[in-house]
């Protein structure tokens, strides 16, 4: 799927499906996030078709975008959920995702979260460490329940992605080193109220090559064979997510090629395969629409100053991430561009979306679309500088709805309380 597929230009104006973004801006104000319901559904069905010949459970990675409209869309398509907190379990359940389709990841699960997950009856805990394993056993024993577990295995495979989203190297905080896996599984088999059923691996996010997946799955297949020889009944392999999207000019392998790697390396094991896509379902299904506040000419460069800031979209500041930046209306001068630093209003030099970028020549009041913002956009936003969170909008065909409203300043401020002694 290209960036523009569900956000096309029609008569030189950008649309979300069949709705002009300028019409939404007029009614909702800027900045706002806009998601294409059809894009989300299209991406999920791509995964479903790619893995159709394998016993597969697709568990959407809720951390990518936890909006209830997004989760409800995926729930109706039969999706499960990969969660990393009690809050995400609650979000998934509220949206209609069945508990027996939820896998619980995360490196620091606390006792109350484990208890909640057990009472809900989730499919599997992806265990990240031996101390966590012991805590799950203790809580399950107290509740007289059985916790199905898989260890997240760190295979020491380089994902060739950004250092902050690489999770499968030996120096990363995630998972049990593959060299210690058999010892960890032996401990799990000795503890009460645990069902040892799977192996989990997730080597990072925004992968653009298949070779790291192939190497990781090869190592996991060998481990499963060893664990079975040790007497463990391994019936589930969670292969993580991690397939990237096109932000600018990346060539992303197809979901069919990704599924073929899993089939080739793991198919002979006869295991249920769990896939945890997040970014590749939502990333290019959303945009952030902002208004130009000022065009400022500095000593060395020109600045396009937007009303969206790093509090709305932190990826460029945190990850040096590239997002295409396009004018919503190019009818005045379709081919006229200018070099800008595109920046926001937050009082930080890091509040910069791009530097020295060719963008359609713009003036105050023009609308700008920051592309590929459906994942890790609104979900990572904050009210830094006491800025209101951008609302979220979902479009389907020729209709749109606000799926998270913009909070008022009063609502933001009133989350605070002042003690009586102040």
Domains along the chain with CATH numbers: 9-36+283-413 (2.40.37.10), 105-277 (3.20.20.10)
Structure tokens that stand for 378 in this block: 């609104």
Looking at the predicted structure, is the pLDDT value of residue 161 above 50?
no
pLDDT at 162: 43
In angstroms, the CA 109 to CA 219 distance is: 27
pLDDT at 298: 81
In angstroms, the CA 88 to CA 73 distance is: 16
pTM of the model: 0.94
More confident: 55 or 4: 55
In angstroms, the CA 394 to CA 141 distance is: 44
Tokens 């094991």 correspond to 269
Reported as a single tens digit per residue, the pLDDT across 30-51 is 999 999 999 999 999 999 999 9
> Catalytic annotation on 347?
yes
pLDDT at 203: 87
Averaged pLDDT, 327-336: 88
Reported as a single tens digit per residue, the pLDDT across 374-404 is 999 999 999 999 999 999 999 999 999 999 9
Handedness of CA 209, 67, 309, 339 (dihedral sign): positive
pLDDT at 157: 81
State the helix-helix crossing angle for 181-190 and 130-143, rounded to 10 degrees. Answer: 20
Looking at the predicted structure, is the pLDDT value of residue 160 above 70?
no
What's the N-to-C CA distance of the chain in angstroms?
56
Reported as a single tens digit per residue, the pLDDT across 209-237 is 999 999 999 999 999 999 999 999 999 99
* Average pLDDT across the chain, whole number: 94
Phi, psi of 157 (to 5 degrees): -120, 130
The DSSP call for residue 212 is: H
121 within 8 A of 99, measured Cβ to Cβ: yes
pLDDT at 169: 42
Looking at the predicted structure, is the pLDDT value of residue 19 above 50?
yes
Could you say which of 34, 59, 347, 373 is catalytic? 347
pLDDT at 165: 41
pLDDT at 1: 41
Averaged pLDDT, 294-316: 94
More confident: 163 or 258: 258
User: 244's torsion region: left (phi>0), alpha (psi -120 to 50) or beta?
Assistant: beta
Looking at the predicted structure, is the pLDDT value of residue 172 above 90?
no
397 to 15, 16, 77, 344: CA distances (angstroms): 10, 8, 18, 31
| Alpha helices (H) along 279-364 | 279-282, 315-319
321 to 17, 164, 277, 317: CA distances (angstroms): 25, 11, 19, 7
In angstroms, the CA 334 to CA 172 distance is: 47
Instruction: Specify the 3-state DSSP secondary structure of 319.
Output: helix
Instruction: Specify the 3-state DSSP secondary structure of 70.
Output: helix
Averaged pLDDT, 112-136: 97
Instruction: Specify the 3-state DSSP secondary structure of 143.
Output: helix
């Amino acid at each position: 799927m290209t960036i523009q597929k569900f956000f096309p230009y029609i008569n030189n104006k950008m649309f979300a499906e069949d709705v002009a973004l300028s019409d939404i801006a007029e009614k909702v104000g800027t900045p706002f996030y806009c998601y294409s319901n059809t894009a989300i559904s299209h991406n999920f069905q791509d995964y479903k078709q790619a893995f159709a010949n394998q016993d597969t459970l697709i568990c959407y990675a809720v951390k990518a975008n936890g909006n209830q409209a997004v989760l409800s869309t995926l729930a109706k398509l039969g999706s499960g959920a990969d969660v990393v907190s009690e809050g995400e379990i609650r979000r998934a359940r509220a949206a209609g995702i069945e508990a027996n389709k939820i896998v619980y990841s995360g490196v620091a699960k606390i006792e109350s979260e484990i208890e909640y997950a057990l009472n809900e009856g989730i499919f599997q805990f992806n265990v990240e460490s031996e101390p966590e394993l012991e805590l799950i056993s203790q809580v399950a024993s107290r509740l007289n329940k059985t916790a199905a577990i898989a260890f997240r295995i760190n295979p020491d495979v380089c994902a060739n992605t950004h250092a902050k989203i690489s999770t499968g190297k030996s120096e990363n905080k995630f998972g049990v080193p593959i060299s210690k896996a058999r010892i960890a599984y032996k401990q799990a088999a000795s503890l009460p109220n645990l069902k040892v059923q799977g192996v989990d691996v997730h080597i990072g996010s925004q992968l653009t090559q298949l070779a790291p997946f192939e190497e990781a799955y090869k190592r996991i297949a060998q481990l499963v064979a060893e664990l079975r020889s040790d007497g463990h009944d391994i019936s589930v392999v969670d292969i993580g997510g991690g397939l990237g999207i096109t932000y600018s000019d990346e060539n992303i392998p197809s979901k069919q090629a990704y599924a073929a790697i899993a089939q080739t390396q793991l198919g002979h094991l006869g295991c249920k395969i769990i896939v945890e896509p997040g970014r590749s379902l939502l990333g290019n299904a959303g945009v952030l629409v902002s208004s130009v506040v000022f065009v400022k000419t500095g000593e060395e460069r020109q600045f396009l100053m937007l009303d969206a800031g790093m509090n709305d979209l932190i990826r460029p500041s945190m990850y040096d991430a590239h997002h295409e930046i396009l004018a919503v209306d190019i009818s005045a001068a379709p081919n006229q561009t200018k070099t800008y630093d595109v920046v926001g209003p937050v009082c930080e030099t890091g509040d910069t979306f791009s530097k020295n970028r060719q963008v359609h020549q713009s003036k105050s009041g023009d609308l700008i679309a920051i592309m590929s913002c459906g994942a890790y956009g609104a979900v990572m936003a904050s009210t830094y500088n006491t800025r209101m969170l951008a609302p979220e909008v979902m479009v389907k065909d020729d209709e749109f709805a606000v799926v998270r409203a913009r909070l008022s300043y009063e609502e933001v401020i009133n989350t605070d309380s002042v003690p009586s002694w102040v």
